[in-house]
Amino acid sequence: MARLIKKQLNGIEILGFSLAGEETVIAAPELDVVFDAGRAPREIISINNLCLTHGHMDHAAGLAYYLSQRGFIGNAPGRVILHRSLAQSVQRLMDVWSEIEGHHSPGMILGVESLEDVEIKRNLTVRSFDVNHAAGALGFTLIDVRHKLKDEFVGKTGPELVALKKKGITIQHRVEIPLLTCTGDTALGRFLDHDFVRRSPALLIECTFFDPDHRSRAVAGRHIHIDDLPTVLEAVPDAQVMLTHLSRRTDLREAKRILQRMLGPRDLERVSFLMERPRREKAAPVIHQEKSV
């Protein structure tokens, strides 16, 4: 069985694996972005943009392998987008690996600050934002960026619009449509106040602790406890929410039972677990027909 789990989140294909303290890697292949490297499974090597949420080993261990393997399969150098405070350290890591291996693995290490946009491809941007976890921790929102004609210019001819542009008049306005948000590891925080997060129709968010006795552990490690989930759901009332980063301390079946006791029917319909593998459809029985003589 493949290690990565394939799911759908509001129509976006998600491919990932996430267990607290072991490995987190979550890809949106059609958007050409992977959040965190985990141990760099082969399925992410061809994805051009890796958004690193923070530097903990279970999220970042595969960075060097991700960059080095791209050349072996004929891909252009990859790009790692991460907090500016981590960029020099990651670059030093790549330099050390170059010394060990005897050759350089090309790649771009792009440090960003909170609320900085990076173009992924035409009309698609990723925006970083601070989260409540380790130093240098970021969440990311993928945003479809469009430019639409302002209402006052609708109906004007092409030459009229060209003439207005030549006069320096702005005839279009920017429209941002959030597609997918990934918080990485975090406790509750002010990131839930961002409009682009609240409007995201798809949210990947950690939920590490479920046991009532583990509330203090969640606070100490700056992680989300299941008791925090209603606050998250209230902040993103229209989002499909996928929970990541569960701990092995809680069996997935027990986590689902806790969730069912906590949430109403509407919220239950929009919350899922990344690590719950889809059920395999049973194959239709083969009916053998006797040949007529």
| Digit-coded pLDDT (tens) for 26-62 | 999 999 999 999 999 999 999 999 999 999 999 999 9
DSSP 29: G
Residues 6 or more apart whose Cβ sits within 8 Å of residue 172 = 147, 148, 149, 150
Q: Which of 118-127, 140-149, 152-161, 164-173 has the highest mean pLDDT?
A: 118-127
Q: What is the model's pLDDT at position 31?
A: 98
Give the integer Cα–Cα distance in Å for 40 and 45.
7
Nearest to 34 by CA among 75, 79, 96: 79
Q: What is the model's pLDDT at position 188?
A: 98
Give domain status of residue 280, yes or no.
no
- Kindly report which listed range (93-107, 153-167, 222-236) carries the lowest average pLDDT score: 153-167
DSSP 209: B
Give domain status of residue 83, yes or no.
yes
Give domain status of residue 222, yes or no.
yes
Give domain status of residue 238, yes or no.
yes
CATH number, domain with residue 114: 3.60.15.10
Burial category of 32 from C-beta neighbours within 10 Å (exposed 0-12, middle 13-18, buried 19 and up): middle
Give the integer Cα–Cα distance in Å for 104 and 88.
16
Give domain status of residue 283, yes or no.
no
Residues 6 or more apart whose Cβ sits within 8 Å of residue 186 = 131, 132, 133, 137, 139, 205, 206, 222, 223, 224
Give domain status of residue 279, yes or no.
no
Assess contact for 223 and 187: CB atoms under 8 A: yes
- Kindly report which listed range (71-75, 104-108, 139-143, 232-236) carries the lowest average pLDDT score: 71-75
Give domain status of residue 282, yes or no.
no
Does residue 168 surpass a pLDDT of 90?
A: no
- 53 residue type, one letter: T
The CA distances from residue 279 to 97, 189, 204, 247, in Å, are: 41, 35, 21, 22
Number of domains in the chain: 1
Q: What is the model's pLDDT at position 291?
A: 47
Q: Which helix (H) or strand (E) holds 220?
A: helix 215-221
- Kindly report which listed range (129-133, 229-233, 289-293) carries the lowest average pLDDT score: 289-293
Q: What is the model's pLDDT at position 85?
A: 98
Q: What is the model's pLDDT at position 151?
A: 82
In terms of residue numbers, what domain contains 86? Answer: 5-273
- Kindly report which listed range (143-152, 156-165, 193-202) carries the lowest average pLDDT score: 156-165
Residues 6 or more apart whose Cβ sits within 8 Å of residue 12 = 28, 30, 31, 179, 180, 202
Give domain status of residue 107, yes or no.
yes
**Per-residue pLDDT band at 71 (split at 50, 70, 90):** confident
Assess contact for 144 and 176: CB atoms under 8 A: yes
